């Protein structure tokens, strides 16, 4: 092509501004440009590091205590990170000593609670470190408004989603929600997931849980996540169920100016 020939507009560059997905990366011959390749390797390293980052439960407990929230530190049946990654089943149950801690707590505080909040490192302790406290700040004030009783925040090291079922059953909780680090993606190493269960007990499948995912600054906001969770909790108490039979139909009220209002039609066609 003549060096004086003007370059053609590339519509992919406009689309790239709308998504963190890896599109419009360009090419050098038949390969990716060096910058795109290095960016991919960096994102992959971030995801890998997030999986293996140790759970700073001591720091989290200290911050919870500063807010006046008691907590209990437990451990799953997975003895270390290697066992946790190789044996998912061990992460779904508590270690025998941790289960005994909950039994003793329940004996000392009979009658059960409305809500048990569980925090587990999951596959990204980074997500838990970054988002647990800001999210709980939003959730706690709304739980207090509803008048629901709560147990101490339960921290589970090397825990998976289903470990909250055993925690809830031992504490006699009507509902549980577990805050857990989700599997890192190449654009989201710090995504927090919320899993809600009504009438928790050991042996429940995922069909009995509701999931709210991608809670982070670049994803679902803390306020929106708390709003959706509170809707599920209210409906679960009313209908006495959770999971696939409980749909998330929370209404979101937004005030939009005429300039901010979405255009009708296909956004791809409206953004040439």
Task: Please spell the DSSP secondary structure of 12-39, one letter per residue.
Answer: HHHHHTT-SS------BTTB--HHHHHH
The CATH number of 51-239 is 3.40.50.11240
8 Å CB contact between 182 and 147: no
pLDDT (0 to 100) of residue 262: 43
Give the whole-angstrom CA distance, residue 196 versus residue 143: 14
Give the whole-angstrom CA distance, residue 45 versus residue 184: 11
pLDDT (0 to 100) of residue 178: 98
pLDDT (0 to 100) of residue 259: 43
Residue 186 gets which letter from DSSP? T
Number of alpha helices (DSSP H) and beta strands (DSSP E) in the chain = 10, 6
> Which long-range contacts does 90-95 make (Cβ < 8 Å, 24+ apart)?
90/158, 91/158, 91/159, 91/160, 91/163, 92/160, 92/161, 92/162, 92/163, 93/162, 93/163, 93/166, 93/202, 94/156, 94/163, 94/166, 94/167
pLDDT (0 to 100) of residue 238: 95
- Segments making up each domain of the chain, as ranges: 51-239
Containing 214, the helix (H) or strand (E) segment is strand 209-215
- pTM, entire model: 0.81
User: Which 3 state secondary structure label does DSSP give 188?
Assistant: strand
Q: Give the pLDDT means over successive 10-residue stretches in the chain (272 positions).
A: 54 74 76 79 78 92 95 96 95 97 95 96 95 95 93 97 98 97 85 97 96 92 95 95 88 46 44 44
8 Å CB contact between 163 and 229: no
């Amino acid at each position: 092509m003549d060096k004086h020939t003007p370059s053609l507009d590339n519509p992919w560059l406009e689309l790239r501004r709308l998504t963190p997905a890896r599109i419009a990366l360009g090419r050098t011959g038949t390969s990716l440009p060096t910058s795109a390749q290095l960016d991919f390797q960096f994102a992959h390293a971030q995801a890998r590091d997030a999986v293996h980052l140790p759970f700073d439960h001591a720091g989290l407990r200290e911050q919870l205590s500063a807010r006046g929230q008691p907590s209990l530190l437990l451990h799953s049946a997975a003895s270390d990170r290697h066992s946790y990654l190789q044996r998912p089943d061990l992460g779904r149950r508590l270690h025998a000593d941790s289960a005994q801690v909950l039994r003793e707590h329940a004996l000392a505080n009979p009658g059960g609670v409305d809500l048990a909040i569980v925090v587990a490192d999951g596959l990204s302790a980074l997500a838990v470190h970054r988002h647990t406290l800001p999210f709980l700040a939003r959730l706690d004030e709304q739980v207090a408004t509803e008048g629901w009783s709560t147990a101490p925040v339960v921290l589970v090291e090397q825990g998976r989603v289903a470990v909250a079922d055993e925690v809830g059953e031992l504490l006699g909780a009507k509902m549980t929600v577990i805050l857990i680090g989700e599997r890192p993606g190449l654009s989201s190493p710090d995504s927090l997931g919320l899993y809600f269960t009504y009438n928790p007990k050991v042996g429940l499948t995922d069909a009995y849980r509701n999931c709210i995912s991608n809670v982070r600054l670049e994803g679902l906001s803390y306020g929106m996540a708390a709003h959706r969770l509170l809707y599920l909790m209210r409906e679960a108490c009313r209908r006495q169920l959770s999971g696939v039979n409980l749909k998330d139909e929370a209404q979101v009220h937004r005030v939009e100016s005429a300039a901010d209002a979405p255009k009708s039609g296909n956004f791809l066609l409206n953004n040439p």
